[in-house]
Amino acid sequence: MRPKKFESDFLIIGSGIAGLAFAIKASRIGTVNIVTKKKESDSNTNYAQGGIASVLSPGDSFDKHIEDTMKAGAGLGNRKAVDLLVRSGPERIRELVEWGTHFSEKKRPGGGAVLDLGREGGHSMNRIVHARDLTGQEVERALLQKVSEIPNIQLFENHTGVDILTEHQLQITRRRRDSIHCYGAYILDNTTGMVNTFNAKMTLLATGGVGQVYLHTTNPDIATGDGIAMAYRAGALIADMEFIQFHPTALYLPRAGGPRFLISEAVRGEGAVLVNGRGERFMERVHPLKDLAPRDIVARTIDMELKKYGVTNVYLDITSKSKKFLMHRFPNIYARCLDEGIDISKDPIPVVPAAHYLCGGVVSDLDGKTSIENLYVSGESACTGVHGANRLASNSLLEGIVFSDQAYRKADENLSNFNRTGTMPEFPDWSKKGTFDLEEWVLVQHDIEDVKRLMWDYVGIVRSDKRLQKAHKRILLLAEDIHDYYKKSTITWRIVELRNLATVAKLIIKSAMTRKDSIGLHFNADHPSPGRHKVNVLLQADHEPKLVKLGRS
């Protein structure tokens, strides 16, 4: 069987809110191929419980949402990007509704209904649009339905991105200042084991986050940082990889395997309080917002409680609310906890922090453009500047739809230019190499666990210089072994994921070592104070990490 070649105007890698929203719009002006690793609905979007933050009530304002976002980001956010995010929000929400998304509503006193706006940590107002506690699932459902109705969108399930197509694959010698161009990607068909060539005039990375690089995470199995690793290898700029958001409240189950079940921040927004094993509230003495403090502060405080008492978990108590209310507002959470023998109307919920969200990623401008020509990025894979050092709750789905809209507008302009003046190079077929060795395959599984355990133990919520130095030495050895195995073995989706996990782990460690202060989600016990200057850690292949203030036009 020979590898296949596919061509389209747009190639989208990933099928969460960012990728699907871009696809729907891009289909108006060209052909679209979407590739996704597992089933079409496997994405971080589908796991999002809380909702989408947007200014939709009379008492709220853009300025308030902007200030809440900047404050949560510890002053490291790009104000232009935040301003764009917030002011675009209401229109993007209306768009989702037009595409068939059903958000929760409540009855208006004088008759009729309005959106039921929730509140989460770090927000000064109720502004969270939600579909009870299954918002991501509802958004994903609506977008997939819309995509299925568009004839010039083709969806390829069970496909994994391997490498971006650039001048490198053509062995073209490039001068240092020459631009790198993207022409699509090599994509692995997980079912057949064939690596096919997907040529495209414009490519969007929407591959989600990196949660699976940690032992405990709320992310689905597919969140292995593929897009970020591919972009890095191709020469794109990467930034802020040290800012990993650990969600404070994942359901603690001693036997848990796979993704940890998320207890949405919206539960605290409805009045839940955090208590230790003695029943003592501990957030009251830490922050003015108490249990609704920003996530980095809550996660770090829980981590301190665990270490102080040598326990495995704390508790989230919402027994002040009625069973009827909880079953209506949080049906998914109520049912999942009940499956584990926990009636949340009577029992506090055992919780523990888990890796949840990456604030950094592939650097983009306000139009979703990366430093590689014709390559765009949106969603959790992107570093747009809106999150700074910490993401404000429920700004993530909003970021995906806003910057996918921006990317579509710019790609529309660039597609016209490409059609007038550009040419598509002829790329060689992927060279099938190596053999499958079952004994080596067992070692792959061990390497994956080694990377995840290494990151959890040494590069977690609280870091130190010594831990980071140890992590760096170990990841370099692991990465070398993994690279050797990748070169000599038959390529499989699991090997591709392992390669990418090792790459993003190295980027996170490098970024954390470069930052010699503590800000937002990055806390180093040896440098507990924030630096005098707000700077970003910038990474690029074959270059040393840099501390710079990223400027975006």
d(CA 379, CA 386) in angstroms, rounded, equals 11
Decide: residue 354, CB within 10 A, 0-12 exposed, 13-18 middle, 19+ buried. Answer: buried
> Rounded mean pLDDT of 456-466?
94
Q: Which residue has the higher pLDDT, 64 or 168?
A: 64
pLDDT at site 440: 65
Cβ–Cβ under 8 Å, residues 270 and 118? yes
For residue 553, name the pLDDT band (cuts at 50, 70, 90).
Answer: very low
pLDDT in tens, 194-211: 999 999 999 999 999 999
Q: How many CB atoms lie within 10 A of CB 1?
A: 7
Class of 438-531 in CATH: mainly alpha
Give the residue numbers marked as catalytic: 295
In this predicted structure, what is the pLDDT of residue 131?
87
Q: How far apart are CA 218 and CA 259, in angstroms?
A: 5
Portions of the chain given CATH number 3.50.50.60: 5-243+359-421
Q: pLDDT tens across 209-258, in order?
A: 999 999 889 898 899 999 999 999 999 999 999 999 999 999 998 876 66
Rounded to whole angstroms, the maximal C-alpha distance in the chain is 71
Cα–Cα distance list, 274 to 118, 217, 238, 307 (Å)? 19, 20, 36, 16
Angle of CA points 361, 364, 369, to nearest 5°: 130
pTM: 0.90
pLDDT digits (tens, 9 = 90+) for 82-121: 999 999 999 999 999 999 999 988 887 777 788 889 888 7
Range list for CATH 1.20.58.100 in the chain = 438-531
Percent of the residues in the chain that have a pLDDT greater than 70, as a whole number:
94
510-548 pLDDT, tens per residue? 999 999 999 999 999 999 998 887 899 999 998 999 999
Q: Shortest CA distance to 538 belongs to which of 529, 526, 551, 547?
A: 547
Q: Which amino acid is at 195?
A: V
More confident residue, 394 or 405: 405
CATH class of 5-243+359-421: alpha beta
Q: What is the pLDDT of residues 173-185, one digit of tens each?
A: 666 667 899 999 9
pLDDT in tens, 22-42: 999 999 999 999 999 876 444
Q: Is the pLDDT of residue 438 over 70?
A: no
Please give the DSSP secondary-structure letter assigned to residue 186.
Answer: E
Q: Is the dihedral of CA 338, 344, 348, 354 positive or negative?
A: positive
CATH 3.40.640.10: does it fit domain 257-356? no
Q: In the chain, which residues fall in CATH 3.90.700.10?
A: 257-356
Q: 467-492 pLDDT, tens per residue?
A: 999 999 999 999 998 888 888 888 88
